[in-house]
Structure 1
Amino acid sequence: MRKMTSIHLLSAGKIQSFRPIREEEVSLMIAKIGKICDDEREGGGVVDLSEMTLSLGSSLICRIAFGRGHEDEESKKERRFGEILREAQGVLASLCVSDFFPSLSWVDRLNGYRDWIDATYEKLDVFYQEIIEDHLDPKRKNESENENEEDIVDILIRLKEDKSLSVDINIKALLVNIFTGATAATVWVMTALMKAPQIMNKLQQEIRNLAGKKGHVDEDDLPQLPYLKAVVNEAFRLYPPIPLLTRQAMQRCTLQGYQIEPKTVVYVNAWAVARAPEYWEDPEKFVPERFLNIDTDVATGQDFGFLPFGAGRRMCPASLMGLVNVELAVANLVYCFDWEMPKGMKVEDIDVESLPGITVHKKIPLLLVPKRSGLA
């Protein structure tokens, strides 16, 4: 199933085919922020960057996975999907009594935990069923005959109907696995940059020198922005999208003197690994330069001191797509605008506390005041 996902859904070629969607959605976000800049004289001017980037993520997922319909329907679908997704992430990150004491599973039913799980996944099931039925509509199927215009659900339906595959595809289960890991990584990068003005200035200089007065940063520019990649890597190190990696022991083994039995659930603290003082110099400091002189590819999961997307066969299959999404969004945010703190607030007031969840979201929204750079 993972091989099928990597080859047919999230291959480099397929990710590249989604480029117009990424660039359009980032452009729409920049336009929304620009409108807030223009409305500043009427009392506006403050942008909730946490909400703005979450909205961008939901829009990207909905268009890439589910395709595009009428504008009003799309807006309702994105809001509904975002709400269900956040609830599902909360369920996945929570702990229940039966995880540790199976014989006490009745406690989870008594305290309402089991009902919460059932209700959340019933919402997901209903949502995905509606999407699948919409894609099975004969009119829509005729419109999606060109594989370059297929979204992820179109591909999954086509593969399920392909009798040559050796496995039966559970479309809903695959969608849950792919999208419940959606993150708010962009806002963490911007949080780190706001707390380090000199680094923000250095990044802006790199991007603006390259893009000039083009008005935007596109994906062709990204390979020519090494400091941007270093900034994103360093933000991923300090604020990994998935701080706890879950694995299951396949056979009996010994780890640092402890005997681990088969089927034991093992949690790897990726957050702690990325801040280990024996591996990283000044691990608590935001220093993008540390990634300029080392050959690091975060999308492959081969650097075991730094695992923002996990590692091995169970690492995040959407790491390549997630990385380009974040780089493109951050590049345009810092190219198009200069960012300031709201009146009465200082950089020191920016909080880095996170909400519980399988992926890390800021507990307190990042509120900033954008000023047009004059280049966009």
Structure 2
Amino acid sequence: MTNPTLLAAIPIISFFFVLIARRKVISQKAALLPSPSRLPFIGNLHQLGSIPHRSLYKLSKQHGPLMLLHLGTVRTLVISCPKIVEEVIRNNDLVFATRPMSKLTDVLSDNKNDIAFAQYGESWRQMKKLARTHLLSSEKVKSMSFDRAEEVSLLLEKVADETSRGNGVICLTEILNSYVTNMIIRVVLGSWITEEKKTLLSELSHESSTLVYEFFFEDFFPNLKWLDVLWGSYRKLENYKKNRDALFEEIIKNHGHESKEVNGKNNTYFLDTLLDLQNDSSLGFVLTNEHIRGLTLNLIAGGIETTSATLDWCMTELVRNPEVMKKVKDELRKVAHGEDMISEELLGQLSYLKVFIKEVIRLHPPAPLLLPRESLQECQIQGYNIPKQTRLVINAWAFGRDESYWEAPEQFKPERFFDCTVDYKGKDFYFIPFGVGRRICPGMDFSMAIIEITLANILHRFDWSLPSGITIEDMDMDEGGGVIAFRKQKLELVPTTSKVN
């Protein structure tokens, strides 16, 4: 006669062995996570190359769209496929909501008081909410239209003035960078900022981007962080922090005086808004000067670099594609009705300009590798076990070249966006130039407003051509190495005044 206890135990025993077998399979699968062969000690660091997003794209073609790299002692997952990112965001966005911790991110986040680099937590959530509600909402962005119009007018004057000198050739890259710097500093801090402080802020912006790309031993070999001291890397960080803190202390201190004397109770500018919120008891948390410094520097550094790079790529692609240039200018002429300037009210009618910009950022996302994330706990991706504190890098540059989603992806064809409703706001996982999920850039509308009004007016007011003796084939389309994908070669063009009628 069969023992009832044994009968009851059989399903439990079976389940136990199935569970062991499943764990064994998962463990084996984790060990087989696709990974390039590595060198002792440095792992795969030597394979990043001078332009990492391109190097990682080539590696992904050999090893797959989910790839494990060993960068020194750091396990780093690289995703080069929209489908896998969709899985991560839908299932594990919270798990990968934080940033890796290091001395570098501590300094850049102003001791975890910003949005871009701070670790995930209550403070970060409050800051993100504040930024989206009070600084970067669509209403707030629209309220800056007067400032944008004035700065665009100054840009047009600058181009005309530079063209009248010498042989008519201007370095548009430098002019656009200066213009974007003036624009963003104005709307973030106010129109009272002196030229000297604008220069210092521009230098800080560039330095922060450079530091992100700087090699710190601590990031990959924690036991060798003393080499960062020996080689002067920590000294660079300390000098950056010292200069940044001193400059912002002076700006915040003097701004209160200037706002009363010049702007009265005007809360148009971001710094005005933040200083007012410091005294708002209903805010829900204490907004410190460190928070204000971290937020404003995020807006300035992130805004200047990404917006300048995108404008430069836009003008480059227009010169390389004369038929696209003609379509954009024809649309502008039709909408302008003979006016010298395109107002923001008319931008909604510029459908071709908008799809043109989308095509540019598909091929040239300003941040080709999204800022790294780190897993807060163990999770699974594509059936693989991913341990806690694994870094995650998303290659947004690769997404724009995925043949599964884009027909003839290397071809520059703005019209492709007329046939689809895809947008860059994080819902379409194959087009994420501004990021995705909890860590998506909250300033995309702020940046795009500047890009659209700038392009509309410099293309409406001027015709653009390459200098004599330079052809399209002479244009180097490689990016310079850096966290922001600036074109390596500066753009020099010849503008001539257009007939607007």
Letter in 1 for 2:250: E
Q: Which residue of 2 aligns with 1:34?
A: 160
Q: Identity rate of aligned residues, in percent?
A: 36
Structure 2's unaligned 5+ residue stretches are: 1-126
Matched, 1:88 2:208: yes
SS at match of 2:339: coil
Matched, 1:297 2:431: no
Letter in 1 for 2:224: L
Q: Which residue of 1 aligns with 2:402?
A: 276
Q: Which residue of 2 aligns with 1:324?
A: 449
Alpha-carbon deviation of 1:165? Answer: 2.2
Q: Which residue of 1 aligns with 2:294?
A: 173
Matched, 1:79 2:199: yes
Letter in 1 for 2:236: W
Alpha-carbon deviation of 1:64? Answer: 0.6
C-alpha distance after superposition, 1:295-337 (max 9, x if no partner): 1332x22111111111122111110010111011111111111
Matched, 1:341 2:459: no
Q: Which residue of 1 aligns with 2:41?
A: none
Matched, 1:260 2:381: no
Mapping for residues 306-317 of structure 1, pairs under 5 Å = 306-317=431-442
Q: Does the aligned pair in 2 maintain the 1:37–1:372 contact within 8 Å?
A: no
SS at match of 2:496: strand
Select which of 203, 211, 219 maps to 1:99.
219
Alpha-carbon deviation of 1:116? Answer: 1.4
Q: Which residue of 2 aligns with 1:373?
A: 498
Q: Does the aligned pair in 2 maintain the 1:36–1:44 contact within 8 Å?
A: no
Alpha-carbon deviation of 1:11? Answer: 0.9
Letter in 2 for 1:335: H
Mapping for residues 69-148 of structure 1, pairs under 5 Å = 69=192, 74-137=194-257, 140-141=259-260, 143-147=262-266
C-alpha distance after superposition, 1:224-248 (max 9, x if no partner): 0111001000000111011111222
C-alpha distance after superposition, 1:61-96 (max 9, x if no partner): 111111112xxx632222221122111111023332
Q: Does the aligned pair in 2 maintain the 1:50–1:187 contact within 8 Å?
A: yes
Alpha-carbon deviation of 1:145? Answer: 4.5
SS at match of 1:297: coil
Counterpart-to-counterpart distance in 1, 2:269 and 2:198: 15
Q: Which residue of 2 aligns with 1:3?
A: 129
Counterpart-to-counterpart distance in 1, 2:482 and 2:271: 26
Q: Does the aligned pair in 2 maintain the 1:94–1:357 contact within 8 Å?
A: no
Counterpart-to-counterpart distance in 2, 1:286 and 1:81: 35
SS at match of 1:339: strand
Letter in 2 for 1:94: E
Q: Which residue of 1 aligns with 2:340?
A: 215
Alpha-carbon deviation of 1:101? Answer: 2.1
SS at match of 2:185: helix
Q: Which moved more, 1:45-54 or 1:345-354?
A: 345-354
Output the TM-score relative to the length of structure 2. Answer: 0.70
Q: Which residue of 2 aligns with 1:151?
A: 269
Counterpart-to-counterpart distance in 2, 1:260 and 1:141: 54
CA RMSD of aligned residues (A): 1.7
Q: Which residue of 1 aligns with 2:279?
A: 161
Counterpart-to-counterpart distance in 2, 1:118 and 1:26: 36
Counterpart-to-counterpart distance in 1, 2:242 and 2:408: 46
Letter in 1 for 2:423: D
Counterpart-to-counterpart distance in 2, 1:259 and 1:118: 38
SS at match of 2:174: helix
Q: Does the aligned pair in 1 maintain the 2:259–2:265 contact within 8 Å?
A: no
Counterpart-to-counterpart distance in 1, 2:213 and 2:450: 24
Q: Which residue of 2 aligns with 1:58?
A: 181
Query: Which stretches of structure 1, 4 residues or more, deviate above 6 A after TM superposition?
Result: none
Q: Which residue of 2 aligns with 1:67?
A: 190
Alpha-carbon deviation of 1:254? Answer: 2.1
Letter in 1 for 2:340: G
SS at match of 2:490: coil
Q: Does the aligned pair in 2 maintain the 1:337–1:373 contact within 8 Å?
A: yes
Letter in 1 for 2:210: G
Counterpart-to-counterpart distance in 2, 1:179 and 1:356: 21
Counterpart-to-counterpart distance in 2, 1:143 and 1:35: 30
Letter in 1 for 2:283: L
Residues 258 and 111 from structure 1, CA distance in 2 versus in 1: closer, same or farther, beyond 3 angstroms?
A: farther
Q: Which moved more, 1:306-315 or 1:246-255?
A: 246-255
SS at match of 1:153: helix
C-alpha distance after superposition, 1:29-81 (max 9, x if no partner): 11111223344xxx331111111111111011111111112xxx632222221
Mapping for residues 221-260 of structure 1, pairs under 5 Å = 221-245=346-370, 246-260=372-386
